[in-house]
Structure 1
């Protein structure tokens, strides 16, 4: 098939709402958003703790966290596969070759990204509000919760980076999901398969959707970060307000 015909057919699939294409897109979003939600629940509190707490080995934990940014996806997929296989310790759960297994693999890959980026953001906020927070006798948990609230817009960058990693993942989800049609086939694995089969229209259509999603999410994160910066600028360097949690305690 000529490239012109392939692009035209891909456009037709997108315009007509091809059931197979949008089923794959829907499963991709479901898996990736679930993984990012897990990463947020685990990674954001961890980042806040590392930003406010001082304990022996903290530097080592931060170093390991940053090192995990380079986790090889295929190795993560292999480890999860061994854990979820029938002979593995979690084999009884029956998660292998299901969307659940793909969420597990993507969560392992995404959590260090969310935590590492969020930690850098929260450390900056902690330095900014250190004087105000010192005036209130708040526990570390309350300080961490306050930082997470105050930095909520800036933290969108961390979540966007995690989502970008998750939705573009191929190796790990291929291993633990099996790329089963109608069950575990997501955009990246479908693009790889359809390209090898020579079905360029479907591969191109999925590629356009994947690119559009990635650009949209990153544009949203950039916009939220710019909004947060503008909000901070409007307060002015001499007119900083106390963090929300501290204001509530001081009332």
Structure 2
């Protein structure tokens, strides 16, 4: 069977983003990290961010159970993610001009919303040798398409647009991940797998430069 290789933004596995990854994991397990991976690879095919996807699409690609992602979070869990005074809502207007307010309370929708509140960090070194730290919003926008007024179960579609910087990383600063192996791993081991993909990149880079592949080296030296 052919390998299913996908690109992963290299910044996800860097030490300067480890605190963010830990915070995202505490809030929603590995769902948010996997959403970044899914959306990054998704936008390689959908450069303009105009396509829609479902929870089922994400589950098939990343190896999740739909029931778990559509589970409603309780007030304590929502407070832990967004703070005690914030109850996120998705507000839209129907064809009749009526305002509809939809609470963001499922694991999947809360993960999407949370990604819009968080930033990734990456350093750059200028010609003068000075290091600048750049902060990138993960999600620029997300939308929901469904009939919120019906009580019947209707398919819900999502559009989520990652920041332009993350799109650029998918072409210039990425590691390769074997998705079939990654999908089969329990959630708690997936970030470690990303760390391994970074080590593979470092070994290949240093080998091409005829250097000893010390894994403790900072991957920024490869840039």
TM-score (norm 2): 0.30
TM-score (norm 1): 0.27
**Higher helix share goes to which structure?**
1
**Higher strand share goes to which structure?**
2
Higher RCO, 1 vs 2 (CA within 8 Å, ≥6 residues apart): 1
